[in-house]
A and B are shown apart, each in its own frame.
Chain A
Amino acid sequence: MSRLVSLAIAFLALTSTHATAQDPRIRDRLDRATATAVSSLIDSATRAGIPAEPLIQRALQGSIKKAPGSLIIAAVRELSVELGAAKSVLGPQSPRAELVAAASALHAGATATDLRTLRAARPRQPLTVALATLADLVSHGVPVAQATETIRVALAKGANDAEIVALRRNIERDIKAGAPPSAAAGVRARGLPAKKTGQHVQPASKDRR
């Protein structure tokens, strides 16, 4: 009987190990200590409802860039925090792509309040493209407050994803032609036509940065 109990305990241990097993991509491409730490972060994130795949990809990106383990761990932790913040604002039903874009927007300097404002401007459709565009505008030198306001105005005017992408391309073109990034974003946002008759776009709130 004791043999049976030992067998059961061994099987239980094996099964439990499998339940928290490292992703093979992490195990194969990171050193053991980094893989263990990253896997622990991913387990914690997953328990909080945060998708694991973006975290795995952030770690693998560190691997191909030959980053030290401490930097990889810090990068995964940072993204986990940003995804968690995005999820708390956008809600548990927010799809992974939207969370990733929201994490990028937060990383670019947008605040949780900004995300709520944009969600309110488009409550029933994904914000993936809008939030990704916000981050892209910041990377082109548009101040984050102006980038957020540009996206907010576009959403308030009923712009769809294709129009938001076109807006970004126009702003990029203006910047390449020598326009100051902030001015380019402001002018292009104002130039978007409002789709709904009589729609009034509220000006930016005074407490913006």
Chain B
Amino acid sequence: MSDRNEEFIQRIAQTLREPVTLRADFDARVMAAVRTEPAPAISTARRIWNLAATPRTVHLSPIAGFALAAGLLMAVVAIGRERNVATMRTASLSAAAAQIRSDTVRLVQFVFVSQDAKSVSLVGDFNDWNKEKTPLHEGADGLWTVSIPLPNGRHQYAFMVNGERWMLDPSAPTAVENSYGTPNSVVTVSEDAL
């Protein structure tokens, strides 16, 4: 590839790397638009099944676990004494267990330039360092891009080329932390700066 083409691609890459800013009311506007859509018809039985079958993570402290066990023991004893047919009681999950996180997020675009890569994925502390989760999409002239929402904070990441080659982002600082002998790139996301 000529130097001119290389320069052209680098200019495109530089533009693509510019952060995309979402307005603060972006989530609210999207949710308002979603709410105006008619809800899909779901039968009551299906709804109950979905409620029962959806996995939930419930964090219990040991003392809460003990209290729950003690409660169950009391219930079992009561049932045993009365010899009645047990009535199934459904305990509702507390609101805390199903809370919706409302961290501020920003859409961040990652760009990698490679003419000969077969695949490129993004790994970092925002996707469990899982190379399957965030593949980059190949565009023209070896430009690989992906945009993902990131919460505020300092994030470490790298590109995985062809599923195995660890590559840093040349446009980003390198992390001072290097616990494993292979450095990472860093992006810092905040409400008014990227």
List residues of chain A with CB under 8 Å of any chain B CB: 4-5, 7-8, 11-12, 15-16, 18-20, 25, 54, 57-58, 60-65, 67, 71, 74-75, 78-79, 96-97, 100-101, 104, 107-108, 126, 128-129, 131-133, 135-136, 138-140, 160-162, 164-165, 168, 172
Contact = CB atoms under 8 A, between A and B. Distances in A.
A74 B76 CA distance: 46
B109 interface: no
Q: Looking at chain A's contact residues, is the secondary structure mostly helix, strand, loop, or mixed?
A: helix
Interface stretch (B85-93, B111-119, B180-188): B180-188
B50 interface: no
A165 B73 CA distance: 58
Given A61-B129, A75-B180, A165-B188, A139 B175 contact: yes
Interface of B: 59-62, 64-66, 68-70, 72-73, 76-77, 80, 123, 125, 128-131, 151-154, 156, 166, 173-177, 179-182, 184, 186, 188, 190-194
Given A7-B76, A8-B76, 20 more contacts: A4-B80, A12-B65, A15-B68, A16-B62, A18-B60, A18-B65, A57-B128, A61-B129, A61-B180, A67-B180, A78-B179, A97-B154, A101-B154, A126-B152, A129-B190, A132-B154, A136-B173, A162-B192, A164-B193, A172-B173
7 contacts: A4-B73, A25-B128, A61-B125, A64-B129, A107-B177, A139-B174, A165-B193
